[in-house]
Chains A and B, each alone.
Chain A
Amino acid sequence: MDTSSTPAIETVGLTKRFGERAALDGIDLQVPRGVAFGFLGPNGAGKTTIIRTLLGLTPASAGTMHVLGYPVPAQRAQALQRVGAIVEEPRFHMHLTGRENLRIVAAVRAPETFARIDPALARVGLADRAGEKVKSYSMGMRQRLGVARCLLADPLLLILDEPTNGLDPGGIQEFREMIREMVEQEGRTVFVSSHLLDEVEKTCDAAAIVDRGKIVTQGAIAELADGGGARHELILGVDDVDRALGVLGASELVAEARPADEGIRLVLAGEPQTAAQVNAALVGAGVGVTRLEPVRHSLEQRFLQITQRLDSNLAPEEVKA
């Protein structure tokens, strides 16, 4: 069965209940192939639960899942053949060496997997320390050994649960670079769950924001950050704020304008290109324009905006981009 054109991960109505509590509440998720996809949410939002459910570590209560085109759990073995995953922190047999730990997992996979052990160790920079017992490894080395263990599958899809937890800044940077290389140079799909907005923004091409077991929004990082392209905001520096506000208030090109510390903040009514017309209108009215800068929203702002609105008991649909 050719499944190469299907999304890397696809869930429809995925639900996982623990008693009365829904840890996942009708999740519809689609992760395209060949991207780094962030699964972003606060602690307890359901990030690890969805990973555990996708990997068959815990059964779903309702809904359907496809991993690399295969239905899970019906064809779980085929689905996971080319999947590498780190769930929560990577764990190992501490009394064994790094290489022996990889041999344990290689033995469970296909026979040809043994040939991937040394390249995988070299890929994560552990070739020199592979003969040492894992109990002597630092947290960063264990994370890297976890990635090496994933690489044994020659994965089309890597699922990494909070991969930078416990890493120092240098280790985090290394990890980000590794993920980008896997996506850009090796064509793999990387699914990263994280509660760190900065990490997702710097590492991923697309993301889904999850809160209280529901997907709040999903899409490309830039789209998510600016609210799905609905709002184009500008900062204006002018020599006469009152006069400028008067001009902007009368313009059909402007949806909203208000004074701010930097000068004026305005929201365009149309496409970003209309900023030039706004500038021309101001200049035409004799207002000196010293600054015209598009506001780049960070994912963090967007995330806080969404979660604050959720805290005000708005339904997730109402804040969808």
Chain B
Amino acid sequence: MNATIALQMAGADFLKLRKKRSTVIWALVLAVAPLVIYYIFKGVQHSSNPEAHGPAGGLHGYEDALPVLALFFGPLAAIMIGTDAGAGDLAAGVFRDLVVTGRSRVALFAARVPAALGLCWLVMLVAYAVMVVGTYALASGTPTPGGALVINGLLFTLFATGIVCVVAVGFSSLVGSRPAALTALIGWQLIASRILENIESLGSSRRLILSQAITHFSPIFVGDHHGPRGGSTVTMSTATAVIVSLVWIVVFLALGVWRTRRMDA
């Protein structure tokens, strides 16, 4: 298979995703709506009592909003997109029609990843743009983040959501059912990993939790500003964070490929 066909296939998978209105709308809602609600809420607080409540924007507002997007709601949007990319062909019943073209199943799986990342990052760019506009428009004369932080924040957002999106593609390909994959991943992201990362008796094994590794790369401190770098609840080196992130990606991609190759289409 040459690069032209690989691009064609990724483009076709992107077409499937971007035309699915429910997925695109819900991903946008998940990524953008919390930011808008945050700005409205903080804006109302600030305008009603400026001395007690700082402005919604500015550097402080940016530091509050970035984790909301990159570590919480952005990954949920990424899960929505990733699970759709991973199990969409199976759900529609067209996987077998793609298999009977003779194209390898690995290639069919591989095309899902760039397509999912493309849509995920497009949604994140929109949400990040909303965040940056809010940060500067609602600063009320307070300090604002510099260009370097804005770029680092964008890269961090794309990195954090991208990893979750790829894991979601692999996991939903493994499970073969989008509703099941969606439920499991949201449950993990919202509940299980939050609980596990706060169980101190687990000690350094908490480094294996993906959100901990991702948080390590945050350009701002998340949480109470007294924890390890980035605000993760467990200290780890950058090398460890990289390895943990890579392991999550490789393991779930491998599982997705394995299942896609082995399943009866």
Contact = CB atoms under 8 A, between A and B. Distances in A.
Nearest to B88: A93
B8 interface: yes
Interface residue tally on A, bucketed by range:
20 to 34
Interface string B1-37: 0001100110110011001110000000000000000
Given A100-B15, A107-B8, A111-B4, A149 B97 contact: yes
Given A91-B93, A93-B94, A55 B12 contact: no
A104 B100 contact: no
A106 B5 CA distance: 10
A81 interface: yes
A178 to B, nearest CB: 19
A56 B98 CA distance: 11
A93 B5 contact: no
Contacts, number: 87
A56 B5 contact: no
Contact of A96 (B15, B97, B264): B15
Given A58-B265, A104-B12, A92 B101 contact: no
Interface in A32-70: 52, 55-58
A317 B69 CA distance: 70
A104 B104 CA distance: 15
B187 to A, nearest CB: 27
B102 interface: yes
Interface string A87-120: 1001111111000110111111111000000000
Contacts of A104: 12, 15-16, 94, 98
Contacts of A96: 15-16, 19
7 tightest Cβ-Cβ pairs between the two chains A and B: A80-B102, A91-B93, A107-B12, A107-B8, A77-B102, A57-B265, A58-B264
Given A91-B96, A95-B20, 13 more contacts: A52-B96, A52-B264, A55-B100, A57-B99, A80-B100, A81-B102, A83-B102, A91-B93, A92-B94, A107-B12, A108-B101, A108-B108, A111-B4
Interface of A: 52, 55-58, 76-81, 83, 85, 87, 90-96, 100-101, 103-111, 149, 153
